[in-house]
A and B are shown apart, each in its own frame.
Chain A
Amino acid sequence: MPKKILCVPLDPVHDVGIKLIKSALDKRGHQTELLSPDLTMEAIVKKAAAGNYDFILVSRTLGYGVAELLARFNDLLDAAGIREKTKIVIGGKPVTPELAAELGFDKGFGANSSTEEVIAYIEEREINDSSSSVQKIKKNLAEPYSYKFFHSEIESLLNSIADKFIDWGKNKTSPGIERVRLREEILHAGDKNIQQALIKKYNDLSDAEIAQGNVKKIYPKGVREVTAEELDSLESFLRSQKSAGQLKIQHSDKHPLIFKFLGSGCPLMDIAHGKVCERWGIDGFLIINPSWEARYEGLLFGNLTHENDGTITSLENIRLIRRSLDPSTLLTVRAHRGLNTPETVLLAGKAGADLTKINLVYGSLGAGTDPIRLGVDGLEAIRLTATYGIPFDIPGNDELSGVPAWKTLAGLLINVMVGVKLNAKPILKPLFCYGPHIVLNSFMEKNFIDYNAAKILALREIVDCPIWPGEPIAFMTQSEERVQSANATSYHASLAASLGVDAITIASTDEAYSRGPIAITSRIDSIRAVTDAFRFVGDAGFKLTPEAEKYKNDLIQKIIEVLRAVDEKDNLPEAIYSGLLGDQNDGAYPGKFGAGTVSNKVR
């Protein structure tokens, strides 16, 4: 039944809110009247008394002395007998339900209230959560792309490099590949005794620190099992704590998806952070593992928590995180570090993760794995991404060591071509960063826009492939100062939106603080900043200076030179050893973990 409503702007300036509410109520068929903002209180009360209204909606921004003014207004309404038959509602930015009650109003709506909430109250019905909350749909980042190369010389060089590399690796194996076979068998073994025998074989192929954990439950320092009681508590927590309405970070459908890192060390803490971040609009997470995992052959089994940085890569941990997150949330698991690359992809696929992270070059230079070992393991891992239908993202974080952007981008493109040839779906991840090579060469002296943009423009001119700048964006521009850090992230996010990339990874405002784990408030800080940035940039964009075009052309030319040199080598690992994709002057050193462990397959 339509209600009769008097809308009263008690504020001479801020009356937009009540006009919007009036308009929404009119559309719902209610009978509304809007008073002018210059009436005295006595005139308003006189009007209210004469009208027999169901509701009086008062709009007022609260400030000094306003409480007294509103109390007087309520007293006048009381004296006129209006309150007996009419509900009095206040709305304004700082209004809370508690404050409204304190001031004598029947109801109050503040900055976080929606028009739908006000209408639901007027119509005396429950709010329909689904109408005010965003419905999220999981997005496949790779789907819209053809992986067609536009630059014939680069395509030809990449074809040659990738063919030689795949051919080089075809008869080779490693303990990492042997373990991935065993893992598959363990997962499919129906008989418990067979399974135990396979697990024993697995542990025999693992380092003692891992086997000891899996057999005797004596774990590396700081690691313990998550207890059954903790898992029960988590279930109850997830059942009882619900999101207060899903928010969206993007202001336009063209804005990129937003990812954050997880990897506090504890899957339970990761899940708690993940659920809060989901509510604020985060689209996906990357699970980061402990750095020590890279050094060991084999992975630990079970739900495990860790007191230090990095969440342990176990099937059970990934499953727990995946199951606890919203089905629409994308989850990626880092695979390219260390000696367990193919097995990590297998676990990611089996646990229902959506993406994984492999960079054959950066994984060999910045993370300590021997290039031959990662070459062999990486090929198998990329094949597994195709088997499980999960795209792999290729982070260009070698730039942070001091590697020039053109070498990093050449490395990313080699990964893309290898991926395409193995029927996988690669995703380019150039950095939006203020890397050492950029600083030394003053590429960003005038602005942070042109050089970052040039990387995207160069890649777009070369191949039709998803682009996801990371990792996180604004690397090396952020400090421990909260506002500065949030600003740096939001500016880079705006640039990403302006360039129309597919996704970005954002830091928290304590990312530059290295002496402790990321805190949830710092995560929300940067999400809020990016949400505002996207609202600000909308469907507009940044204007690049002519320098961006010059940088782009220079990058493409130098990528070609790097690829020509790589193509002169017999295979990719040889090119990495010889420093063509980053040498000691660039701060890049070929890794040593797993050196000498690759063997020929037994025919």
Chain B
Amino acid sequence: MSTALERVMDAIDIETYLVCRDANEGRMLALKLGQELNLGDVDIMFEEFDGYGIRLRLRKYVHKPGSRYEWLNLSSNKNYQQGE
């Protein structure tokens, strides 16, 4: 069965703004957000605390180079063709 995650070519980036007291809390919340979204451990690519909250760019790799890419089977697997 094809999932949307399997179709992610490489990575999911999340850009958001979390209201927080300081940068440390912001970072902690960023990592918690990854868990709450069922993405597991996410990497904080960029962070910028401005006093009110933290501006974030988070990344989760779904397919890293050298791994097996499910999307590569898009055309050779019937289930994928049907988008199931």
Contact = CB atoms under 8 A, between A and B. Distances in A.
Interface residues of A, number: 36
B76 A232 contact: yes
Given A269-B65, A308-B66, 16 more contacts: A236-B74, A237-B71, A237-B74, A237-B76, A241-B75, A265-B65, A269-B63, A307-B66, A308-B65, A480-B45, A481-B57, A482-B46, A510-B45, A510-B59, A520-B9, A521-B13
Interface in B56-84: 57, 59, 61, 63-69, 71-76
Nearest to A224: B66
A513 B61 contact: no
Contact of A519 (B11, B71, B75): B11
B11 A516 contact: yes
Contacts of B50: none
15 contacts: A222-B66, A234-B72, A239-B75, A241-B74, A307-B65, A482-B57, A510-B45, A513-B46, A516-B11, A516-B43, A516-B59, A516-B61, A517-B65, A519-B59, A521-B11
Contacts of B13: 482, 519, 521-522
A376 interface: no
B25 interface: no
Interface string A531-561: 0000000000000000000000000000000
B22 interface: no
Contact of B66 (A240, A265, A513): A265
Contacts of B57: 480-482
A522 B61 CA distance: 13
A188 B68 CA distance: 34
B6 interface: no
Given A241-B74, A265-B65, A268-B72, A481 B46 contact: yes
Given A230-B68, A481-B48, A482-B57, A240 B11 contact: no
Interface string A231-247: 01110110111000000
Interface of B: 9-11, 13, 15, 43, 45-46, 48, 57, 59, 61, 63-69, 71-76
A233 B64 contact: no
Interface of A: 222, 224, 230, 232-234, 236-237, 239-241, 264-266, 268-269, 272-273, 276, 305-308, 479-482, 510, 513, 515-517, 519-522
Contacts of B65: 264-266, 269, 305-308, 517
A287 to B, nearest CB: 13
Contacts of A264: 65
A520 B74 CA distance: 18
B50 to A, nearest CB: 13
A338 B20 CA distance: 49
A520 B7 CA distance: 13
A482 B15 contact: yes
Given A232-B76, A237-B74, A269-B10, A307 B43 contact: no
Contact of A236 (B45, B64, B76): B76
Given A307-B66, A510-B45, A233 B10 contact: no
A513 B42 CA distance: 14
Contact of B73 (A222, A233, A306, A521): A233
A233 B48 contact: no
B79 to A, nearest CB: 14
Contacts of B15: 482
Contact of A272 (B9, B45, B67): B9
A480 B75 contact: no
B64 A240 contact: no
Nearest to A226: B66
B76 A233 contact: yes
B64 A519 contact: no
B26 to A, nearest CB: 15
Contacts of B71: 237
Contacts of A521: 11, 13
Contacts of A517: 10-11, 61, 64-65
Contacts of A515: 43
Given A236-B76, A480-B46, A268 B69 contact: yes
A477 to B, nearest CB: 15
Contacts of A307: 64-67
Contacts of B64: 307, 516-517
B61 A240 contact: no
Given A230-B72, A268-B72, A519-B59, A479 B46 contact: yes
A230 B71 CA distance: 11
Nearest to B57: A482
Which residue of B10, B64, B74 has the most chain A CB atoms within 10 A of its CB atom? B10
B59 to A, nearest CB: 7
A230 B76 CA distance: 11
B10 A520 contact: yes
Closest 8 pairs between A and B when the two form their complex, measured CB to CB = A240-B75, A307-B66, A266-B65, A265-B65, A480-B46, A264-B65, A519-B11, A236-B75
A481 B45 CA distance: 8
A510 B67 CA distance: 20
Which residue of A265, A276, A513 has the most chain B CB atoms within 10 A of its CB atom? A513
Which residue of B63, B65, B75 has the most chain A CB atoms within 10 A of its CB atom? B65
A237 B48 contact: no
Nearest to B48: A481
A346 B65 CA distance: 26
B42 to A, nearest CB: 11
A43 to B, nearest CB: 46
Contacts of A236: 73-76
Contacts of B46: 479-482, 513
B74 A240 contact: yes
Contacts of B74: 236-237, 240-241
A517 B45 CA distance: 12
Contacts of A513: 45-46, 59
Contacts of A241: 74-75
Nearest to A263: B65
Which residue of A237, A264, A305, A307 has the most chain B CB atoms within 10 A of its CB atom? A237
Contacts of A265: 65-66
Nearest to A239: B75
A35 to B, nearest CB: 42
